[in-house]
Structure 1
């Protein structure tokens, strides 16, 4: 699998898992319409999800991750 495809899958899985957790967590504590809970969960998940990218370093493609809870970039 190409590196760009892996990055796309990693970004999607990171966002999707946080979105589902926030969506059902909000439904336990708040009594809002489902569209508002989904909107709040999507904003929170997009802010807190790790971001993956492909960089070319010395002719080699590497996958790196940036997350607000970690300092700098992590190579995978």
Structure 2
């Protein structure tokens, strides 16, 4: 599997897992319309989800991760 495809899958999974957790968590706490709960969950998930990218380091494609809870980049 190419690194760019892996990055796409990792970004999607990170967002999707957090979105589902926030969506159902908000449903338990707040009694809003489903559109507004989904909108709040999407904004929160996109802000808190880790971001993955492909960088070319020494001629080799490497996957790196940036997250707001970590300082700097982590190489995978």
Q: For the superposition of Structure 1 and Structure 2, which TM-score range results when normalised by the shorter chain?
A: over 0.9
Alignment of 1:16-27 (within 5 A): 16-27=16-27
Aligned length: 76
What are the ranges of 5 or more consecutive residues in structure 1 without an aligned counterpart?
none
Once the two structures are superposed, residues 16-51 of structure 1 have per-residue CA deviations (whole angstroms, 9 ceiling, x without a partner) of 000000000000000000000000000000000000
Q: Secondary structure at the match of 2:13?
A: helix
TM-score by length of 2: 1.00
TM-score by length of 1: 1.00
Q: Could you tell me how far apart the structure 2 residues matched to 1:5 and 1:52 are?
A: 11
1:67 and 2:59 correspond: no
Q: Could you tell me how far apart the structure 2 residues matched to 1:13 and 1:28 are?
A: 23
Q: Could you tell me how far apart the structure 1 residues matched to 2:29 and 2:63 are?
A: 37
What are the ranges of 5 or more consecutive residues in structure 2 without an aligned counterpart?
none
